[in-house]
Structure 1
Amino acid sequence: MSGAGFLLAVNFLIAQCFCMFFLAVSARSRNRVAARWFAGCFAVASLSAVFELLVAYVPPARPWAILAFASMLCGMFMLRVGIGHLYGLRTNRLVLALVFFAFVELDLVIYDLPRGTFRHALSYQTPFAVALGMSAWAAYRAQAKNLVDRALVVLLAVTSGHFLLKAFAAVLAGSGNTARDYMASQFALISQSMGAVLIVAVGLMLLCVLVLEIVAEEKVNAEVDPLSGLLNRRGFDNRVDALKAQPGPHSIVLCDLDRFKAVNDTYGHQGGDAVIRSFGEMLKAAVPVGALAARIGGEEFVLFLPQTGKEAALLFAHALRANRAVSPVPGLPAGVRVTGSFGVAEIGGNEPLRFAMRRADDALYAAKNAGRDCVREAEPPAVVLDVVRQAN
């Protein structure tokens, strides 16, 4: 086997590996459709290597040469469809199909042109450059700001441009007088070497985009309470410091659902889950943009309201209490109402968050002791600190 034939075999195996990688990633990625298109892209494009070998060793050469061209080009158009799914872009597959068949027809027309000429080389390589250029343009049009996404755009553009450079290389290095001569030409070594590098680069970059999305999604899932749909304690702790660093004032609202154990005892855990789910949906709909809402205990919730003073926080808590008091819970009898008790604290100056949370918690207990279904304001930070000093 010639050096070019060996590189064709290597490129085929590399493409098959990437096909399996993308299929594996599709099992976990929310962009599983895109991952499957990428797997198909590498699987179909890899057939070009098989057909190139058949051109050299199994006459007649013409059908194998056309199939080699068509399989590579089809893989590139499948890449464009996958890019569309990856970035949520609309893809007109009919147009892509028409362009594909037009390029295959062009390859049929130029097949008998003298090889080693710029006319033949440019006509042969341009369809590949156009197909990859469409993918680069689609990824660019998505305006993704992630560094890896931008790197993918650059890599696709470079890969597109390299096909035009290959047209010059085919003329300068010589690609043989016939399709069967290609395998023994110097250009075949150049072409397959460049192809191996770019196959690996594009495949790794696409995998990187998908894997980073999986990691980001797993991180989000680890910080979200699946029942209420709100942040959990970890998600709240990971985000609250950045909001607290903004210019104040800020406020904390703690809420505890009233007599929640009685709900579980009467209607079972499914009834309790319905209450948590309903309250979580209410909070998500009510919290202002930029605020944090989290479930930090069984039936306990916290709200961080950035750049919000205690008066506005109290009004907000009263609105939540009133809404909860009159809202039915889906899944429970129509007359059942589950109320909530609220404690509100404005964070003072450089007061640590845990102190403000403690004051809001004391206010919450005061609301419970006052008969539940009410809102209580926390003592000012200075009062709490004085009490702590006296206790010490």
Structure 2
Amino acid sequence: MTAAFVLVINMCIAGIFAVAFGVIAATNRMARGAAFMAAGYALGIVDVALEFLLPFQTDPTPVAVSIFVVFLLALSFCLIGISRHYRVPTPRGAMIAIWASALLLAPLAFSLPYGSPARGMIYQFSYCLMQGLAGVVILRSGRRQALDLLLMGMQFVAALLYLVKPVIGMLVGTAAAPQAYMATTYAAISQTMGAVTLVAVAMVLLLVMIRDATAEMTARSETDPLSSALNRRGFELHGESALAGGTRGVLVAADLDHFKQINDSYGHAAGDGVIAHFAALLQDAAPEGAIVGRVGGEEFAVLLPDALLSDGRLYAETVRGRFAAQQLPVLGVDRCFTASFGVAQAGRGDTLHDLLHRADAALYSAKAGGRNLVRVALGELPPLPAMGAA
């Protein structure tokens, strides 16, 4: 009766998580793998239902084999779901090898006396490998946040528990036949272990999916879709956070020259292409840790952490030179374009607004000086002579 009660709990738990993952899959396209997790837990319901059929079978072998296959299939779906969520290629080769060994060894396992340690070990070994493979997938993802480490550890612990079950069977005893399984103490212990594992793994995985979906939504809300740089809100949030940490930084303000003429002469599609191309140059030339944002229509800002004014000026000159030298024939544009830059050094107590104001003043100086120039904020460094002004 105790094992049957735990089985009912397991069925309810599997149903709850099947619905939970299904809702996530249906409402959030960013939740990769949720649909497979829902399928895996749904198969868990089928597996428990087959356990309840087993006592009523004259020949238990067909139902027992079905239980074995359905549960292994459930673990396979969960493994695919984890692989997709973590953006790791599904280990198809390893999965095929596990399935092949399981199907080859199944006749041997079911030919051995029921309840024998050898039968239990062979029966549980495929489950152990499939569950452990899920931990390997998380390990290969390279993600090491607390929830990821917890989920990975739980996968390995769950895998080891399958190998512990035959030992428990030896200690407490098992039934003489499959039909009497639910009446044993071993069944109650085994199903309780399964319930705890089922809840723990599913809860942590749900938390991982919610965390990642929230982070992705936040990133999307802070990203300009055209340039793939931060939008103004994102730039201000990350820039203020960097300056609040006491970093010594330089801000580079940039503005495309005569952008209205680009739109008027070549169309808005060409203008969008120029913006995207310029943003790519800014990001490619930026050092690691730089914060790149599109803060206006054709206006950009780049915060270079732990940099000097000379570093900012060199960066701006590099981007300016590359941009002025390149044409964009793919957009039907047969001419080069230019941009102007202003550079300012963060001082003690400077806010991002202060830094942007000084960099903008230097940018306006570059515009007034003929465009296609780099200027530094007044009072910080005398400007270099114009290079390739246009």
TM-score, reference length from structure 2: 0.86
Q: In the alignment, what sits opposite 2:307?
A: 308
Give the Cα separation in 1 of the matches to 2:117 and 2:331: 77
User: Secondary structure of 2:371's match?
Assistant: coil
Amino acid at match of 1:218: M
Amino acid at match of 1:184: A
* Identical positions, percent: 33
Give the Cα separation in 1 of the matches to 2:172 and 2:11: 24
User: Secondary structure of 2:289's match?
Assistant: coil
CA change 1:95–1:338 in 2 (3 A) is: closer
Give the Cα separation in 1 of the matches to 2:87 and 2:45: 26
Give the Cα separation in 2 of the matches to 1:178 and 1:97: 31
Amino acid at match of 1:325: A
Task: Map 1:86-101 onto structure 2 (within 5 A).
Answer: 86-101=85-100
2:162 paired with 1:176: no
Q: In the alignment, what sits opposite 1:222?
A: 221
Cα displacement string for residues 269-313 of structure 1 (whole angstroms, at most 9, x for unaligned residues): 333322222211221222222222211111111111223332332
Give the Cα separation in 1 of the matches to 2:89 and 2:359: 49
CA change 1:352–1:80 in 2 (3 A) is: closer
Q: In the alignment, what sits opposite 2:53?
A: 54
Q: In the alignment, what sits opposite 2:255?
A: 256
Q: In the alignment, what sits opposite 2:155?
A: 156
Q: How far apart are 1:88 and its partner, in Å?
A: 4.4
Q: In the alignment, what sits opposite 2:293?
A: 294
Q: Is the 8 A contact 2:98 2:129 kept in 1?
A: no
Q: In the alignment, what sits opposite 2:236?
A: 237
2:90 paired with 1:65: no
Q: In the alignment, what sits opposite 1:387?
A: none
Task: Map 1:1-392 onto structure 2 (within 5 A).
Answer: 2-26=1-25, 28=28, 30=30, 32=32, 34-244=33-243, 245=245, 248=248, 250-329=249-328, 332-380=331-379
Give the Cα separation in 2 of the matches to 1:311 and 1:22: 53
TM-score, reference length from structure 1: 0.85
Give the Cα separation in 2 of the matches to 1:334 and 1:127: 61
Give the Cα separation in 2 of the matches to 1:374 and 1:44: 65
The range that moved more, 221-230 or 313-322, is 313-322
Q: How far apart are 1:63 and its partner, in Å?
A: 0.4
Cα displacement string for residues 112-165 of structure 1 (whole angstroms, at most 9, x for unaligned residues): 543344344334333323332332344335443111111012211222222233
Q: Is the 8 A contact 1:278 1:330 kept in 2?
A: no
Q: How far apart are 1:207 and its partner, in Å?
A: 2.0
Amino acid at match of 1:118: P
Q: How far apart are 1:29 and its partner, in Å?
A: 5.1
CA change 1:300–1:137 in 2 (3 A) is: closer
Give the Cα separation in 1 of the matches to 2:22 and 2:291: 37
Q: How far apart are 1:221 and its partner, in Å?
A: 1.1
Q: Is the 8 A contact 1:31 1:85 kept in 2?
A: no
User: Secondary structure of 1:344's match?
Assistant: strand
Unaligned runs of 5+ in 1: 383-392
Q: Is the 8 A contact 1:255 1:364 kept in 2?
A: yes
The range that moved more, 154-163 or 22-31, is 22-31
Amino acid at match of 2:149: R
Q: Is the 8 A contact 1:55 1:62 kept in 2?
A: no
Amino acid at match of 2:167: F
Q: Is the 8 A contact 2:95 2:130 kept in 1?
A: no
Q: Is the 8 A contact 2:115 2:175 kept in 1?
A: yes
Q: Is the 8 A contact 1:66 1:104 kept in 2?
A: no
Unaligned runs of 5+ in 2: 382-390
Q: How far apart are 1:208 and its partner, in Å?
A: 1.9
Q: Is the 8 A contact 2:98 2:130 kept in 1?
A: no
Q: Is the 8 A contact 1:15 1:46 kept in 2?
A: yes
Give the Cα separation in 2 of the matches to 1:319 and 1:57: 79
Amino acid at match of 2:197: L
Amino acid at match of 1:195: G
Cα displacement string for residues 169-220 of structure 1 (whole angstroms, at most 9, x for unaligned residues): 3334443211111122232222222222211111122222222211111111
Give the Cα separation in 1 of the matches to 2:12 and 2:282: 53
Q: How far apart are 1:230 and its partner, in Å?
A: 0.8
Q: How far apart are 1:46 and its partner, in Å?
A: 3.3
CA change 1:185–1:307 in 2 (3 A) is: closer
Give the Cα separation in 2 of the matches to 1:143 and 1:372: 45
CA change 1:113–1:356 in 2 (3 A) is: closer
Q: Is the 8 A contact 1:348 1:381 kept in 2?
A: no
| Corresponding pairs, count | 380
Give the Cα separation in 2 of the matches to 1:134 and 1:376: 56
User: Secondary structure of 1:297's match?
Assistant: coil
User: Secondary structure of 2:254's match?
Assistant: strand
